[in-house]
Structure 1
Amino acid sequence: MDQKTDVVDLVSTLLDSGKYKEALSVPNKKQYAESFKDNCWDLISIVVSKVENDTITLKPSLYGACEELLSVIIEKATPEEALLEIIEQIEVAKNDAQFSIILNPLQKLLKKLSVKRGRSLEWCLNSISTYIEAIPIPDHHLEGKERLLMDSDSNARRIVHVYSLLPSFYQPFVEELSKNDCNNKTVYIIAAFLISLFGKPLIYMDLDPESGINSQLRQCCETILKDVCTLVKNILKFMPYLENSYKESQIANSKKKTSDNDDDVHPYEHREKINVTTLSGLFYLTFSGDFVVPDYAIPQVFSHEYMVHNILLSVNHFLQFAEYGPQIKGLTLCNNILNLYENKTSHTFLTLSIHYDLCKSLINLSIYSSYETVRKNSVKLIGIHINKFDYKGRIMLIKYIIDIANHSGMIGYAITQYKNSLDEAFKESYLPECFSGAQFLNMVKKICYLPYGVESDLVELADQIITALNFLRYLALKDAENKTGIRECFPIIETDYLDNLRTGLNMSKAHYEMKLKELEESKDICSKEDKVSINIGGKMLDKIPTKNKKEIIHSALNAFHLIEGLVGRLTECVHINKAHVYNE
């Protein structure tokens, strides 16, 4: 048996048998000294393989022996060869304990390679990034205070633990670079690595200050963010990178071809590090208002409008995720960044598509998100977004919502926003042009719209119809002087809208009353129940108990009676408004 096999097997056997002192004495024994040095590569993998997640708790002496052996191996090994093996051990690490025990030897090796560190450092950091990104994200449908339960999730604990290991590993290099005040590629390499940490899995974690302002992960994020600021000085320099990566993400199957082996590619151009997700994480930490950011890192060199437009790209990206973590981060960032806008910001800024993309994303979340908190916050932000603009800008966004929402409640919300803006405009010395004439008529047509005329589903459209009728009644009473031109709209309102509504109401009431009569007259519920079906919002409800069917029918009939009453009151208000002309 050759000497190589002897020393490797010897160390392995001694560790397995609990003879830790003997194992530590092997490199100091003359007969093993040369072989130990020649076999450092294999010894690294053997020592690391002895460590499990519970080793430090159940066998602290073994863990300590492995740490000490790795330190000796690093001292005796050729740095370049040992580094390659350490990188491989990170890539094949079976648990976080192995990953953890590797970091200190890796740091020592990189310090030894100070002259040729750049490329080696990049390889090491890439391996660390790959390991971190492979940690499964917590998969729980929790929101609000329920998120505190994530502390018991094994993957969440893994993420917190691994992130907490990183600052002590990389900070010596940050300090070294900051002292030298250099602007070399190593700065970019470390900065790109740190920014990559703000992507997956961090964006899925709870960083809400209400859930624990002094949590270990929040503190770790603040440390990493501060170190990014130390290296790059100006966080805003990444806005052009955000714009580019966002555009790339919007193109299906878009892949920017970069290679870590290409020395000509700037570290900020590697999309696996600097991409729309990691930059969104960076700007969330910087602008959400929940983290401390050095003043020098956000120089006042850009207009608030430019900053808002760019950071809204991050917001919209977060809102595309299905998970609670990214969604709530997007909403938090959106709320804070919109505050940078002045009230009555010019509608000219709405030439940028991001505002409509944001509006669409918020609509989708407010209707379809699995989380109540997200739905409510999305609706609130739609209103905040709209009301940041001047009247013309508000109308542009409101029209967009009405055109794309395809949801009665959301269209009703948009109509309410229009009503509130018009009510505010009435208090001005003169009514803005966008609330009168052809522009006003166009809006009235959008509001008074029944997609299928008299055959429209009035149950499905109830919220929209009720809001529209209340708006028209308010306007008929409010605008006695016809500032908006409402009187010229009355023929359209009465003929194209109210007449169709009355006919539709009569048809719908007759249909539902007939169904209710069938249910009430049924003597044999079991046999009759299968024969009576109800169509609600285009869905057949035929497999529900009779009692529930009756409740549904009564609810629909109540909605019809409410709409009918509003139609009657609106008709009276229209007559009063018309009569005002004759009394003048």
Structure 2
Amino acid sequence: MLEQEMEMDVGDPVKASNLLRLIKQLLLEKAYDGVRMLFQSAQESERNTQLLPHIAMELYHDVCSENLTDEVNSQEPELFDCCDELLKLLAKYAPLQELMLELMERLEESSSINVFGAYLRALQVVLQRQGRDKPQAVEWSLQSIVTRLKELPLPQYLSEGYDEAQARLIEQNEQVEDLLAHYITVGLFRQPLRDEILQDLQPPFQTFRDCGLNRRNIFTCFFIQLLGRPLALLEMSHVKKDLTRTYVQQVTKSLTQDATQFLGDPFYLLNLVEQRARWQRKLDPSKGVYEMSCRNVFLIEEKLPLHAVAMYYHSLFVGNQLPPNAPRIYAPLFLFETIVYLAEVLLRQQEPPLQYCGLRLVEHLLSTLQDSVPTSSLQLDVHKRFCEALCKIVGYSPQVSLRQLGLHVLRQFILAFDDHGKYLILKNLLGTLQHDGLMGYLGGMYKDLVNKALEESGPLPEVFSGKLFQEMLLLCVCVLPHDVKSDLLLHSDRLCHALNILRYFAVRDKKDVTGFWQALPEIEKELLDPLGKALNFSMAHYKAYKERVEKGQSASDDELMQRQLNMLAVNISNSGMAGGDADSKLPDIGRQEKLDVLASSITSLETLQSLYLRASEIIEQSTRLRRIANPSNA
């Protein structure tokens, strides 16, 4: 070995310079086979390759980088291919660090898949030479690949959300095809490197895993990072019912399997996810990293983004990529509680495809639970954050299918807990939400839970009777925040649900098993009495206003009309369907438009009034029957 190094040191610079000139001359003459013969011929190869270390960087700058362009590839493809082969060859002999920096820069700036592939093949050789040395340099090289993939242009609708019809055509989009070609090229790049590292992982394994900066961990983070954006935007299993094997699935499967092989235990990251998402660690301003994370690369967001980790577990569970030999010692409850952290991360992303993945991930984990989730689990703050993110999607997402799936998952999530857990979640949501439709739905859900308990034999659980029931009932039905002056149209959905709940318990619970009749006096005071007055006032006010409009006695900027239109604009804005300022004054509208708005408002009030009268009638009838059955309570 020492003799070879001495031979390299005393190599003839003149011969090396002559070789460089010869290569350039052959390229000018388009004698590409002649260039190849210099390094493939049995007679020439050994002598010429020994000279390459002296001219490798000159060859790179003067020949390779000059010709590895889209223009050359288009006009002189044979020259491009020859320089591509030269670059891969000189990567074996050029100064490692100097060439690595050049390749990183070129990869980030590559203008096409052809140029990207040429530099990536050279980087593959460089990283094989690098081996276990200088893992930081390896990490920077891989990061340049991630940076390039993230900068590739993509259709706008991928970020905005797409339907089934669009999903069927996604892989035919030119920009998506280019992205997938880049991913497939990266797959070819990482194969030999992956195999080398896996050979190093043969037994005996370390008892405690080294989580520091080493080649295995760097590549693990690299594989998982690639599962995040932009690949995650192409996850379309939520809209394609008859999904065949797509390129996206193939790429996702390959990356997932590689990451799993490097981790050994696919559940290994879950404990680290809990550390990152649950416990706040101090930030070291001088280093720009979290406390102690310098000893664990999996704790650093820049190295391992949580949304990418979430997509890894989405692939394992929803994509059925969990290996058969995965450990079976993890309890379903532990997996559920930990995965909720990742699902919440996905739900808080802006792109609907990622939100879908978060919902599907939780849906799958809920299906694996064999026992009810205990109330003690709610001590984890993540459940509150998850519900907040989920309710935001259910209430305001512009994607109808996303709202529907979100509502289904919310229901299944609540039902997964024991009775007391269900009660606490519903009570917290009803006490904090501002979306009337969703609050009405949750109130109806609590009513259904009580109904189910009433149909079962034995005493009612504590949360469905007595004081706790009465507290929840008041949250479900007392929805007049401003008493008689409340805007009934703004709260019409929840008021309808509330009146239906009152009608149900007045008929169903004549014996007051739940405590409904004990709560009725307060309900009458807080809801029924002021609601009756508010309905009469609102109905008279709208009808009088309609008459003024019909007679042409209403100014175009009438305050009531402006408020109604502003409320409509706010609802549209909250649903994500409008980009304007909902608080700004809307333009004047014509007489007929005003009459249409007023007619719709009056119809809504009449529907609400009908429900109110029917509920009041049923409560009055049930009250008389109770007095007849129990004269002592009269």
Same fold? TM cut 0.5: yes
Deviation of the 1:88 alpha carbon: 4.0
One-letter amino acid of the counterpart of residue 144, structure 1: D
Deviation of the 1:341 alpha carbon: 2.7
Q: Deviations over 1:31-71 (max 9, x none)?
A: 99887642312322441442345765664323321222223
What corresponds to 2:250 in structure 1?
Answer: 219
Q: Per the alignment, do residues 403 and 269 of structure 1 end up closer, same or farther by CA in structure 2, a change over 3 Å counting?
A: closer
Matched, 1:188 2:221: no
- 1:280-299 matches, within 5 Å, as 280-287=310-317, 289-297=318-326, 299=327
Counterparts of 2:112 and 2:461 in 1: how far apart (Å)?
A: 66
Counterparts of 1:231 and 1:256 in 2: how far apart (Å)?
A: 31
Counterparts of 2:284 and 2:182 in 1: how far apart (Å)?
A: 31
Structure 1-normalised TM-score? 0.88
Q: Deviations over 1:510-536 (max 9, x none)?
A: 22112211222229xxx9645685122
SS in 1 for 2:463: helix
- 1:69-148 matches, within 5 Å, as 69-79=86-96, 81-114=98-131, 116=133, 118=135, 121-136=138-153, 138-140=155-157, 141-145=160-164, 146-148=166-168
Counterparts of 2:22 and 2:531 in 1: how far apart (Å)?
A: 90
Deviation of the 1:414 alpha carbon: 0.9
- 1:58-73 matches, within 5 Å, as 59-73=76-90
One-letter amino acid of the counterpart of residue 607, structure 2: L
Across the aligned residues of Structure 1 and Structure 2, the Cα RMSD in angstroms comes to 3.4
What corresponds to 2:177 in structure 1?
Answer: 157
One-letter amino acid of the counterpart of residue 221, structure 1: T
Q: Deviations over 1:216-268 (max 9, x none)?
A: 121011011111222222111101221233247x8999989468xx9973443
Q: Per the alignment, do residues 273 and 574 of structure 1 end up closer, same or farther by CA in structure 2, a change over 3 Å counting?
A: same
SS in 2 for 1:197: helix
Q: Contact 1:518 / 1:532 at 8 angstroms: preserved in 2?
A: no
One-letter amino acid of the counterpart of residue 356, structure 1: K
Counterparts of 1:515 and 1:461 in 2: how far apart (Å)?
A: 21
Q: Deviations over 1:523-569 (max 9, x none)?
A: 9xxx9645685122864766334333222212211121112111111
Counterparts of 1:436 and 1:52 in 2: how far apart (Å)?
A: 76
Deviation of the 1:134 alpha carbon: 3.4
Deviation of the 1:407 alpha carbon: 1.4
Counterparts of 1:518 and 1:9 in 2: how far apart (Å)?
A: 95
Counterparts of 1:254 and 1:329 in 2: how far apart (Å)?
A: 33
Q: Per the alignment, do residues 63 and 576 of structure 1 end up closer, same or farther by CA in structure 2, a change over 3 Å counting?
A: same
What corresponds to 2:392 in structure 1?
Answer: 364
Q: Contact 2:161 / 2:351 at 8 angstroms: preserved in 1?
A: no
Count residues with an aligned counterpart.
575
Instruction: Say which of 427, 446, 458 aligns to 2:475.
Output: 446
One-letter amino acid of the counterpart of residue 456, structure 1: S
Matched, 1:170 2:198: no
What corresponds to 2:57 in structure 1?
Answer: 41
Instruction: Say which of 400, 413, 422 aligns to 2:450.
Output: 422
What corresponds to 1:547 in structure 2?
Answer: 592
- 1:123-522 matches, within 5 Å, as 123-136=140-153, 138-140=155-157, 141-145=160-164, 146-180=166-200, 181=202, 183=205, 185-208=214-237, 211=240, 212-247=243-278, 257=287, 265-287=295-317, 289-297=318-326, 299-342=327-370, 344-429=372-457, 430-447=459-476, 448-522=478-552
Q: Per the alignment, do residues 75 and 233 of structure 1 end up closer, same or farther by CA in structure 2, a change over 3 Å counting?
A: closer
Counterparts of 1:492 and 1:436 in 2: how far apart (Å)?
A: 16
SS in 2 for 1:339: helix
One-letter amino acid of the counterpart of residue 217, structure 1: V
Q: Contact 1:258 / 1:270 at 8 angstroms: preserved in 2?
A: no
Q: Contact 2:293 / 2:300 at 8 angstroms: preserved in 1?
A: no
Deviates more, 1:156-165 or 1:319-328: 156-165
Q: Per the alignment, do residues 550 and 52 of structure 1 end up closer, same or farther by CA in structure 2, a change over 3 Å counting?
A: farther
Structure 2-normalised TM-score? 0.81
Counterparts of 2:281 and 2:594 in 1: how far apart (Å)?
A: 47
One-letter amino acid of the counterpart of residue 188, structure 1: N
SS in 2 for 1:492: helix
Counterparts of 2:67 and 2:599 in 1: how far apart (Å)?
A: 70
One-letter amino acid of the counterpart of residue 436, structure 1: S
Q: Deviations over 1:264-288 (max 9, x none)?
A: 734434432223222112112112x
One-letter amino acid of the counterpart of residue 437, structure 1: G
Q: Deviations over 1:273-309 (max 9, x none)?
A: 223222112112112x224221223x12222111111
Q: Per the alignment, do residues 568 and 10 of structure 1 end up closer, same or farther by CA in structure 2, a change over 3 Å counting?
A: farther
Q: Contact 1:225 / 1:293 at 8 angstroms: preserved in 2?
A: no
One-letter amino acid of the counterpart of residue 164, structure 1: I
Q: Deviations over 1:411-465 (max 9, x none)?
A: 1111111111111111121211211111122122212221000011100100000
Q: Contact 2:276 / 2:299 at 8 angstroms: preserved in 1?
A: no
Instruction: Say which of 614, 617, 632 aligns to 1:572.
Output: 617
SS in 1 for 2:609: helix
Counterparts of 1:569 and 1:505 in 2: how far apart (Å)?
A: 14
Counterparts of 2:547 and 2:385 in 1: how far apart (Å)?
A: 48
Counterparts of 1:5 and 1:553 in 2: how far apart (Å)?
A: 90
Counterparts of 1:581 and 1:9 in 2: how far apart (Å)?
A: 108
Counterparts of 1:533 and 1:454 in 2: how far apart (Å)?
A: 17
Counterparts of 1:501 and 1:179 in 2: how far apart (Å)?
A: 75
Q: Deviations over 1:377-422 (max 9, x none)?
A: 1122211111112222222111122122211111111111111111
Q: Contact 2:167 / 2:236 at 8 angstroms: preserved in 1?
A: no
Q: Deviations over 1:332-377 (max 9, x none)?
A: 1121122233364322222221111111111111122232222221
Q: Per the alignment, do residues 517 and 115 of structure 1 end up closer, same or farther by CA in structure 2, a change over 3 Å counting?
A: closer
One-letter amino acid of the counterpart of residue 503, structure 2: R
Q: Per the alignment, do residues 408 and 113 of structure 1 end up closer, same or farther by CA in structure 2, a change over 3 Å counting?
A: closer
Counterparts of 2:66 and 2:297 in 1: how far apart (Å)?
A: 33
One-letter amino acid of the counterpart of residue 326, structure 1: L
Counterparts of 2:432 and 2:352 in 1: how far apart (Å)?
A: 24
One-letter amino acid of the counterpart of residue 220, structure 2: A
One-letter amino acid of the counterpart of residue 195, structure 1: I
SS in 2 for 1:296: coil
Alignment gaps of 5+ in structure 1: none
Counterparts of 1:118 and 1:353 in 2: how far apart (Å)?
A: 37
Q: Per the alignment, do residues 494 and 113 of structure 1 end up closer, same or farther by CA in structure 2, a change over 3 Å counting?
A: closer
Aligned sequence identity (%): 23
